[in-house]
Structure 1
């Protein structure tokens, strides 16, 4: 016997209805949007969304809404707000992206991701998930600081090789655990600084996973969280990193003026950090935004500045997170700028240089540069070569989980 519609309907969320109080759904929605602006979030809450919340149709809101509700109702957990644990709602993806050839390799890479995220320090941080109500240690010390920073390193290592898809949910859990350590434990000033630095870097890493896997609003939220952490902790190096990633995200989202402003703000802060390579990367971020605005001359000047700064060489002051930034990345970002300016010939030349220089072990970047090369060869009229390069990139996809690169190739 089939269940009746009433028996399969989700339970109403009486907690949210109680918190709305005497306000109409539209008034409550306005309060949600106002709270979002207070913490730098952007949500499109309206009366219909409130109705979906109260009916139980939305069993667990996305991360942006979760942050807003935490701001509106401090001290209340998602469970207190009537929401189900995120892992119980979303589950784990078990099928590959649309391209059929990818299916045989997905389970293998997914097993690798599970092993990566369930071992070592990442498991320690994930164990502190608020939804699980795990007890944080009463006092945090060097071991907890090391665990958070090791989680950052492990996430970056795996992302460098494969991309962000499939890793984001687990990494976001580690991030919540890190902030729980920072907020819910007693600790010395030095430990607090270490936790803040680690949590901020972890927020940026999780934001990048969101960016790479196509979750742009979530990425923006995580970067804003990292920026707020940096400012509260008085950590200019962390603030520069957050601005750098914010600029990159804004460019990809089509907010080119924001990309330029964020890159320029980062450059002001980075002048005292002693890293010419960092300033080179930030000049490239600015160039990407300027290219999107069609400001060719200013973009060319920023590119020239990036090359000059890069030529100063590496230094002890170069941040550890910039390990990805070598000659290949310099050429790849230059290719993207020329492409945005409508110069496919120059873009293809830079992209070809990036492909030749890239370490083949870093599959995501190699596929990205090949995709950029193929797209610009196609635009420049070299259709046969474009098809050949695109075929090479496609052969890398079975070991790659990056929505950004998949989208580029699909578009081509």
Structure 2
């Protein structure tokens, strides 16, 4: 039975793959349909935190051509459980044919609308010109989503990024060679954005997943700029976990071929390397890198990354991170002075950067044994972080509150602790 062009008469490949897979019970019997469904459910939860309730009947419908093909996450789960590398080995893709023509001309590109195995969708047939328009639109949408992130935070941007990633993943499955590389390149760009948004939402597991995916796609597309950028992003994640040496190594790898990178991106990578050296208590190396970054700083006042990755790395951003390095180097009073200089220099569109700088300044005040100033600064940052949906910054402010708890008799500290309790409740 065929349905919307997305099923085959009988999926013998999937049946054979299941027949070769051993039962998880330890017996030599082939995996049953129910066992396969349960294994896929387990994989989806462990890998994507996605609850699914597939059963043997669902597998049977796939094998008999009575169900639409699964979406990408489901297909990945089937591949992993059955030990195959491609969808073709499971029979999820029929042969795609180009339009017959006696002369050289445009061919059809089939794109399966997203919606997953449970939602309805239809097969779209588009021309190469339409595909090019779609990619141009998605590229422009990326800039809009970056600006939305800077204005409103991950809550507003993440839904759009994930929706566009679903479209790009379907486009990557299309059998048209000339569009594969630009599609994969753009998918890497969106995946890196998804990583950052999850990180700001304090979901580090998903952040690391999308960083790895972005790096894989960037490498597949031969996009050396994005490979460098994903190395930079992974270095940031390692710094947050306290792994200074590994973070420095990845930052240095990210700028190995920096003559090919735009100036603001080179600046951002240097800032990241400087933080790694500060974490390792090497002030000289840290300050030198920050000085170098200033000579490469960007000047993005719109927050839409039209200048490419690293556009956010303005002089204000660099000085705020110089202050962060000074906190790591146990020089909180010097850090406070730099935060006071950096905050007015941050462009208004970078609201989250302002909240992060205020959180850093509060941390510096607390380290300098200035509890009232620390509490007052943290109370300025907290509503900004909440409006931006930045759980990452809220967590930093919660840590400041914990540090100030012994001073809870002070009015400013008591007020901060009350506000933090309201956020947690």
Q: TM-score range by the shorter chain?
A: 0.5 to 0.7
Q: Does the alignment pair 1:176 with 2:166? A: yes
User: Structure 1 residues 400, 22: CA separation in 2 closer, same or farther (over 3 Å shift)?
Assistant: same
User: Structure 1 residues 270, 194: CA separation in 2 closer, same or farther (over 3 Å shift)?
Assistant: same
Alignment of 1:158-307 (within 5 A): 158-165=148-155, 167-188=157-178, 191-273=179-261, 275-292=262-279, 294-297=280-283, 300-307=284-291
What is the CA-CA distance between 1:246 and the residue it aligns to?
1.5
What is the CA-CA distance between 1:209 and the residue it aligns to?
0.7
C-alpha distance after superposition, 1:10-68 (max 9, x if no partner): xxxxx9xx6894254699xxxxxxxxxxxxxxxxxxxxxx9995596887554389496
Q: Does the alignment pair 1:63 with 2:51? A: no
What is the CA-CA distance between 1:170 and the residue it aligns to?
4.5
User: Structure 1 residues 130, 264: CA separation in 2 closer, same or farther (over 3 Å shift)?
Assistant: farther
The answer as to whether partners of 1:216 and 1:253 remain within 8 angstroms in 2 is no
Helix, strand or coil at the partner of 1:184: coil
What is the CA-CA distance between 1:389 and the residue it aligns to?
1.2
Among 330, 333, 337, the residue aligned to 2:321: 333
Alignment-derived partner of residue 152 in structure 1? 142
Among 58, 75, 81, the residue aligned to 2:87: 75
* TM-score after normalising by structure 2: 0.66
Looking at structure 1, the residues matched to 78 and 318 of structure 2 have their Cα atoms a distance apart, in angstroms, of 40
Higher relative contact order (CA 8 A, sep 6+): 1
Helix, strand or coil at the partner of 1:271: helix
Structure 1 range deviating more: 167-176 or 379-388: 167-176
* TM-score after normalising by structure 1: 0.68
Q: Does the alignment pair 1:358 with 2:317? A: no
Structure 1 range deviating more: 220-229 or 67-76: 67-76
Alignment-derived partner of residue 3 in structure 2? none
What is the CA-CA distance between 1:168 and the residue it aligns to?
2.8
What is the CA-CA distance between 1:404 and the residue it aligns to?
0.6
* TM-align CA RMSD: 3.7
Looking at structure 1, the residues matched to 247 and 76 of structure 2 have their Cα atoms a distance apart, in angstroms, of 24
Among 110, 114, 121, the residue aligned to 1:128: 114
Q: Does the alignment pair 1:410 with 2:398? A: yes
The structure carrying a bigger helix percent of its residues is 1
The answer as to whether partners of 2:185 and 2:223 remain within 8 angstroms in 1 is yes
Structure 1 range deviating more: 358-367 or 62-71: 62-71
User: Structure 1 residues 250, 64: CA separation in 2 closer, same or farther (over 3 Å shift)?
Assistant: farther
Q: How many equivalent pairs are there? A: 323
Q: Does the alignment pair 1:379 with 2:364? A: no
User: Structure 1 residues 26, 326: CA separation in 2 closer, same or farther (over 3 Å shift)?
Assistant: farther
Looking at structure 2, the residues matched to 173 and 348 of structure 1 have their Cα atoms a distance apart, in angstroms, of 41
The answer as to whether partners of 2:236 and 2:272 remain within 8 angstroms in 1 is yes
User: Structure 1 residues 255, 64: CA separation in 2 closer, same or farther (over 3 Å shift)?
Assistant: farther
What is the CA-CA distance between 1:343 and the residue it aligns to?
2.5
The answer as to whether partners of 2:40 and 2:78 remain within 8 angstroms in 1 is no
C-alpha distance after superposition, 1:383-412 (max 9, x if no partner): 221122112112424522111111111221
What is the CA-CA distance between 1:259 and the residue it aligns to?
1.8
User: Structure 1 residues 68, 221: CA separation in 2 closer, same or farther (over 3 Å shift)?
Assistant: farther
What is the CA-CA distance between 1:245 and the residue it aligns to?
1.4
Looking at structure 2, the residues matched to 134 and 376 of structure 1 have their Cα atoms a distance apart, in angstroms, of 56
